[in-house]
Amino acid sequence: MNAMNEAISNIGVVPVIKLNHPERDAAALANALCEGGVPVAEVTFRAAGAATAIKLMSQAQPDMLVGAGTVLTTGQVDEALAAGAKFIVTSGLDPDIVKYCQAKGVPVYPGCSSATDYHTAFKLGLEVVKFFPAEQCGGLAKIKALSAPFPMFKVMPTGGISLKNLKDYLSCPVICACGGSYMVTADLIDNQKWDEIINLCRESVAIVKQVRGNG
């Protein structure tokens, strides 16, 4: 695996973030995630201030892996990179965006959920794909079924993952890391419940360590 894939895999969970008040909350959120042992974030372009959030989180925690999610256009790739994004996540598989990121040398994780998507991802030379929306698309059973013809992929499932099923997902050897908003919900962020976010991160990290045999 390349360095970014390795780094994300080592952390094991990727908070999926929608920040409504980046100026107010981005730095505090970055600090909370790092304090909780989860120095990575997918900051989604679903919120208007996503680029600002990426910039402020990266400034607060320069070693943190802050990436952009829900990226829909190459213009948003540029916006994300200018703000300091270290990786790009898309909800679906758009070969144009994947090739654009590859040409710029930035890791990209497109959402895949079918054999057709995996086949296209294979042609694009990807090693890790996002599996989205994981629970709604068939969950672990589908991930396992797809890994039979496509054993070359590591998978980052996102969608419907929580502390309840995190262990099951991480126990599957094809899983690189699990994405989710459960530790960074709108309620937690908008009400600045940083201690709860830290605790949810720590609980997640404990599960990662337990599954991987070093906790």
Q: Please identify every residue annotated as catalytic.
A: 42, 130
Tokens 């962020």 -> residue: 189
Considering the rule CB under 6 A, would residue 22 count as an interface residue with ligand 3PG? no
Binding mask 26-65 for ligand 3PG (x = CB under 6 A): ------------------x---------------------
Which residue in the set 109, 180, 200, 204 belongs to the binding site for ligand 3PG (CB under 6 A)?
Answer: 180
CB of 204 to ligand 3PG, least distance (A): 12
Instruction: State which residue, 59 or 203, has the beta carbon closest to ligand 3PG.
Output: 203
- Pairing of β 13-17 and β 178-180: parallel
Contacts of 152 (CB under 8 A, 6+ apart): 122, 127
Q: Is 76 in the site for ligand 3PG (CB under 6 A)?
A: no
* 137 within 8 A of 160, measured Cβ to Cβ: no
Nearer to ligand 3PG, 158 or 214 (CB): 158
Select from 141, 137, 139, 119 the least CA-distant residue to 129: 119
Q: Does 189 bind ligand 3PG (CB under 6 A)?
A: no
Return phi, psi of residue 150, to 5°: -125, 65
- Applying the rule CB under 6 A, the residues between 91 and 150 that interact with ligand 3PG are 132
Q: Using the rule CB under 6 A, is 16 a contact of ligand 3PG?
A: yes
Residue type at position 8:
I
Burial class of residue 111, CB neighbours in 10 A (0-12, 13-18, 19+):
buried
Closest distance between ligand 3PG and the C-beta of residue 33, in Å? Answer: 15
State how far the Cα of 84 lies from the Cα of 2, in Å rounded to an integer. 19
Residue 156 in the binding site for ligand 3PG (CB under 6 A): no
Calpha distance 112→190 (Å, rounded): 30
- Provide the binding-site residues for ligand 3PG, judged by CB under 6 A: 16, 44, 69-70, 132, 158-161, 179-182
